Chains A and B, each alone.
Chain A
């Protein structure tokens, strides 16, 4: 790691100016002729059978071209989860069903000449429902008396526990050692149940899909998707359209955060276009995004820890129940991650049991959401260890530093918990969590503030709290990315990647990686991404895989290009390849001093003799998923009279290996933190007694704007991950895990009260303070 020319540099994003100029295109921005607008009709009932659908009145409206519903579309069970095939999520969804399973479930789709007509026609469809009893409580889901939500031919594609007759969408049981013994050995036990709420990704761009035929009659889909290749495969299967006739393009996307790692609109629009030979479009309204797209799974997690007086945890039992909602997309894998990303962090616990269930309810559907189970799990874990440290009279920072997993160590959990299948054993090769803790503590002023309950006003008191986390970098042995490159005669390169830039800047950092291998500035790389016709395969943007996996593919591919450049140069210079190096776009013979520029090499190989195109392709997977680590600190101010809680300062110190682009890495952290803070404090789905969400607008679903953010500091701690491109790991998800528990721990430090359920609203704080004063 001498001095890089691209790696570790905050290069401006390749699309930044075009976005600032308002010209780069998002899915809704393309001009397509003669387009049909699609509008969906949704169920007003949480659980009902459809007795009849009468579309006469709807079709009578001028401009209505097609109406899709369960009677006229193929019934192909599938999962909408954007995952590799065969997907670990149950096959429990169809395009339109005879049954509706939550308020907001789809009933029909109207395609019309304009948006207004489509919506009016949707409202004119007469549906007769036979309501069924509905299930909203995850504690009741498995009761034999509870309504059964999936009762037909739903099934799991891979051999995992799937028992819809018990409303069980997924189950995981994992244990090591002897839990009873572990608890017997303990001096004390902490036993607490934590609950987290349903929240929405709130990507500012709503889900949007376009479909049209190109000149040759191939179906082209432009979609705001994180998973273009999975989308192509699922559209083909579900709509019965041969895959080779489908092209999926991801243009600029206005945020995803997991909410667009889902293929639930593309098949509809594709089918409309396919059936009617007309281009078509759907744009979800904000309300539809809230209710009828995907959410973060709500969870109830019971954590029991047996602890010795010196702080050693002798036994840990984690019992989790995930609210899958009406469909089981990501229900197994998010559940699995609750254990898989949390339990290895304290890897010296001898007796562990993780027992998790995902249950169906008649509520909006949970899916992929940044953090992916780790967020829910760490809310519990970080409060639990804070309580243990308090009870054992230990300094929490020292406690974490003592017990967390270190370089060279492993945990049996890595192998036991995969994403639905078995996991993969791995050893930690890079971990600077200790340094993250020290530097973060200093930045927040930990030692001056902790335990002091500093008063800043008559009723105002402050405290600080810490949370730590690890995540992953891709799914080991499962995620795959590819890249291809070619060289142009001016010494520039085209880089084609399947990898999906959803605002993260992956186009940019992947060009930085390629450029570094080729010893040129990153401006010499022209990136084209996420087009199933033009770019090679990539699983897509999820599991924090892009830098580590897709970057690995780019690095491999660039090395092949470099080898071809050197071989050609050796021929042209009549040099020995062992003496040749690449430096600043030139190949130099270190022995003779002869040199030749890249442009000349390309011109020669393209036109002179033994002509060939310098080009290559490569794919990459990894047998390991090296975790990034983070320590996050919150300083809060509590008003003891009103319960209102303000986050004054927030510090994140992260070890993501070698950051390829520090500004972009910071951007991921800062965005994750603010998203995590509103998860902690203000976001929630409020339902009426019939299961209808009543706050499905930004008007009363609150996230922060600029005046709300605390003072924030981001520290990147360097480590070297040998298995990652130039030592990189990942950074896309991890920072969303800390804010909620750090704030909860800071609240305890300030006011001596604990909140076990999210969000931490000022009324909740007030009630507990009130009870403490007048029990």
Chain B
């Protein structure tokens, strides 16, 4: 294999030019790149000197730089608000040393089916800032589903609303350090015992993720203490491709159970 060409741009503008170099991609923590194999890559644009390792609080939102690692984000978010979905999800992703290395930008751009980040970001309706062939701020959902946005582009950061949501997070694993078969993210906004708003996202199913708009709509406006949750997860409208150790039938059943329990738990039932 030929030598890998390393680039160390010191500004975002400089890095943008490099995005058009053939077989050359951005490098944050590198974990996803090493995992997927480097034989076809000829150049890496190291993002370490771009100043993207930052965390800025604004009114009702935070801006998370793309090279922030999961553990950094989890720590920062926890110091803002003990119970928030991002710190819940990111603090149990992968393992301690991997959480120190997996970057927000890298995780969004690769969007693996076992991602612990994407469920929360989709549920929060976060937005990503992108430079390169496409520029601008896009909803994370749009970024994830539009391949044009991912060609010769670089994520510089993520913006997340910090208005209060009560969070629930579940990752379906066999052992503590395991990639989840799926994750369940539920957010609840409750006012005076009424469900003002709810977000329900499962990541890891066919199509990579699903947001349960129908269930959200059915629950919106109802009373937290009295709405019936029983059976809400039964025959869940979701498909899975077979994982190595679990059948599609079982995964579907399990997802339904976890979703139902999550809703019950978040409603404090």
Contacts and interface: CB of A to CB of B under 8 A. Distances in A.
A700 interface: yes
B184 to A, nearest CB: 13
B177 interface: yes
Contacts of A684: 245
A703 interface: yes
B55 interface: no
Nearest to B247: A763
B175 A708 contact: yes
A766 B256 CA distance: 14
Contacts of B179: 699-700
Contacts of B176: 704-708
Contact of B244 (A686, A706, A707): A686
B218 interface: no
B6 interface: no
Contacts of A642: 253-254, 257
A454 interface: no
Contacts of A116: 1
Contact of B253 (A704, A761, A766): A766
A758 B176 CA distance: 20
B124 to A, nearest CB: 27
Interface string A683-705: 01010000000110001101111
B175 A702 contact: yes
A128 interface: no
Nearest to A767: B250
Interface residues of A, number: 22
Nearest to A700: B244
B178 A702 contact: yes
Given A642-B254, A705-B177, A763-B250, A694 B95 contact: no
B244 A705 contact: no
A309 interface: no
A686 B245 contact: yes
A140 interface: no
A767 B246 CA distance: 12
A398 B177 CA distance: 40
Contacts of A641: 257
A529 B127 CA distance: 62
Contacts of B247: 763
A682 interface: yes
B95 A705 contact: yes
| Interface size grouping (class) on chain B | 10 to 19
B95 to A, nearest CB: 7
A120 B1 CA distance: 9
B122 to A, nearest CB: 24
A82 to B, nearest CB: 31
B92 to A, nearest CB: 10
Contacts of A704: 175-176
Residue picked from B179, B245, B246, B254, most chain A C-beta under 10 Å: B245
Contacts of B250: 763, 766-767
A142 B179 CA distance: 40
Nearest to A678: B175
Nearest to A706: B176
A763 B240 CA distance: 15
B40 interface: no
Residue picked from B95, B175, B253, most chain A C-beta under 10 Å: B175
Contacts of A706: 176
Residue picked from A642, A704, A706, most chain B C-beta under 10 Å: A642
Nearest to A639: B257
B175 A705 contact: yes
Interface in B138-190: 174-179
A695 B257 contact: no
Interface string A143-172: 000000000000000000000000000000
B245 A761 contact: yes
Interface in A239-292: none
B208 to A, nearest CB: 19
A116 B2 CA distance: 12
A766 B257 CA distance: 12
Contacts of B257: 641-642
A249 B178 CA distance: 37
Nearest to B254: A642
Contacts of B253: 642, 766
A567 B177 CA distance: 62
Contacts of A761: 245
Given A699-B179, A766-B250, A766-B253, A694 B244 contact: yes
A694 B247 CA distance: 16
Nearest to A698: B177
B212 to A, nearest CB: 19
A699 B244 CA distance: 11
A682 B174 contact: yes
Interface of B: 1, 95, 174-179, 244-247, 250, 253-254, 257
Closest 5 CB pairs of A and B: A707-B176, A763-B250, A702-B175, A705-B177, A702-B174
8 contacts: A120-B1, A695-B244, A702-B174, A702-B175, A705-B176, A705-B177, A706-B176, A767-B250
Given A642-B257, A686-B244, A699-B179, 11 more contacts: A116-B1, A642-B254, A682-B174, A682-B175, A702-B174, A702-B178, A704-B175, A705-B176, A761-B245, A763-B250, A767-B250
